[in-house]
């Protein structure tokens, strides 16, 4: 079983169970999470939902994208579009759920993992947590509602995280708004039992520890200065900064899809204005819907996952990205717009 959904005590329990695959989210797992949430919404026996994952390495390292690649490379874009539609609907239901949802986010929490855990009402991280939105590295944009979290991060931290795919430890994740509480891993099993027995989220406070200091705080001035503006401005500002941090950020930006990064900036700005997860998922879908046919997604997967040559041939160079390409990928979809 890739996922367990059951009632324990007063809690609805969801456990991702693909530890060898870093609990990557399959299409069936996505549907199972949604069904459980729907079943428990009006069930008085379920007062709280607790989401965790098997293994130590990852809560969920992202979506299982092999099937998307296989169908997309064959010219069938419908599977990916259906997956994204159903996944985004599930993400919205987590964010809007009327009962508390507590997510335990150990190890890698990336992409689709943020879509599950990042929208929970109570998000717990520990010593091993590594949270990121790494989509631009595979020619996609931050999605699963992650753009909304990026938009709500302090200053220009969202732009920095979205463009560089930088990983946040527990302290950074809490500072950036991707997590709420630091609880040492050794207390998790007992805490989950307490939540199952009491359905009382205040028990988290009893084992909550001081969050590790965020490294992003010290970088805030540089991030806010360098990541305000369009993609060309960001590159120029980082080149002019000359710091070790700027050099590292430039190296990351140089690896990622220019088209995806430019659209990410547009989407974060739109998310700040909308501040509504369903609207933001709609923005994200404008890109993901087109990503196989007109974007860099299939090439990004080829380079990172299939051939593993780490040498993607992006559609546009970083220094010559036409505005029309960005406009095409962010245009309204009309009758094909996201319906969730």
Tell me the per-residue pLDDT of 42-92, one tens digit each, with 9 for 90 and over: 999 999 999 999 999 999 999 888 888 999 999 999 999 999 999 999 999
pLDDT at 297: 96
- The domain total for the chain is 1
pLDDT at 188: 98
**Residue 94's domain spans which residues?**
1-340
- Taking a C-beta distance cutoff of 8 angstroms, is the pair 292, 222 a contact? no
112 catalytic per annotation: yes
pLDDT at 67: 86
d(CA 173, CA 183): 13
Q: Is the pLDDT of residue 275 over 90?
A: no
Q: Is the pLDDT of residue 6 over 90?
A: yes
Provide, rounded to the nearest whole percent, the portion of the chain with pLDDT above 90: 97
The pTM of the full predicted model, rounded to 2 decimals, is 0.97
d(CA 244, CA 259): 25
Strands 3-8 and 11-16: antiparallel
- Taking a C-beta distance cutoff of 8 angstroms, is the pair 173, 126 a contact? no
Instruction: State the catalytic residue, choosing from 52, 64, 135, 159.
Output: 135
Instruction: State the catalytic residue, choosing from 63, 145, 146, 162.
Output: 63
pLDDT at 207: 96
Instruction: State the catalytic residue, choosing from 112, 113, 158, 300.
Output: 112
Summarised one tens digit per residue, pLDDT across range 201-226 is: 999 999 999 999 999 999 999 999 99
- The CATH number given to whatever domain includes residue 314 is 3.90.226.10
d(CA 248, CA 252): 6
Instruction: State the catalytic residue, choosing from 34, 52, 64, 143.
Output: 143
d(CA 172, CA 162): 14
Summarised one tens digit per residue, pLDDT across range 91-116 is: 999 999 999 999 999 999 999 999 99
The first and second tokens of residue 33, run together, are: 């999470």
63 catalytic per annotation: yes
SS3 label, residue 316: coil
Strands 58-60 and 11-16: unpaired
């Amino acid at each position: 079983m890739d996922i367990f959904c059951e009632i324990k005590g007063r809690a609805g329990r969801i456990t991702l169970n693909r530890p060898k695959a870093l609990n990557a989210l399959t299409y069936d797992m996505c549907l199972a999470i949604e069904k459980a949430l729907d079943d428990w919404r009006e069930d008085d026996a379920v007062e709280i939902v607790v989401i965790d994952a098997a293994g130590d390495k990852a809560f969920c390292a992202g979506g299982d994208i092999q099937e998307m690649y296989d169908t997309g490379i064959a010219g069938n874009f419908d599977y990916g579009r259906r997956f994204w539609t159903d996944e985004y609907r599930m993400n919205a239901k987590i964010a809007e759920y009327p009962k508390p949802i507590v997510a335990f986010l150990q190890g890698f929490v990336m992409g689709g993992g943020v879509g599950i855990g990042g929208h929970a009402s109570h998000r717990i991280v520990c010593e091993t947590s590594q949270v990121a939105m790494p989509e631009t590295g595979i020619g996609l944009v931050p999605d699963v509602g992650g753009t909304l979290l990026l938009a709500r991060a302090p200053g220009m931290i969202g732009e920095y995280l979205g463009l560089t795919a930088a990983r946040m430890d527990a302290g950074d994740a809490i500072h950036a708004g991707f997590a709420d509480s630091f609880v040492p891993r050794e207390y998790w099993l007992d805490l989950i039992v307490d939540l199952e027995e009491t359905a009382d989220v205040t028990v988290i406070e009893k084992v909550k520890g001081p969050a590790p200091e965020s490294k992003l705080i010290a970088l805030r001035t540089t991030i806010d200065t360098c990541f305000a503006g369009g993609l060309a401005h960001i590159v120029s500002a980082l080149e002019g900064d000359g710091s070790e941090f700027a050099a590292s950020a430039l190296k990351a930006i140089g690896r990622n899809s220019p088209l995806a990064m430019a659209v990410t900036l547009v989407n974060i700005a739109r998310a700040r204005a909308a501040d509504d997860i369903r609207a933001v998922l709609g923005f994200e879908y404008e890109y993901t819907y087109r990503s196989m046919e007109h974007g860099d997604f299939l090439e990004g997967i080829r380079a990172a996952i299939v051939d593993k040559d780490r040498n993607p041939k992006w559609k546009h160079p970083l220094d010559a990205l036409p505005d029309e390409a960005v406009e095409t990928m962010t245009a309204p979809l009309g009758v094909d717009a996201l319906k969730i």
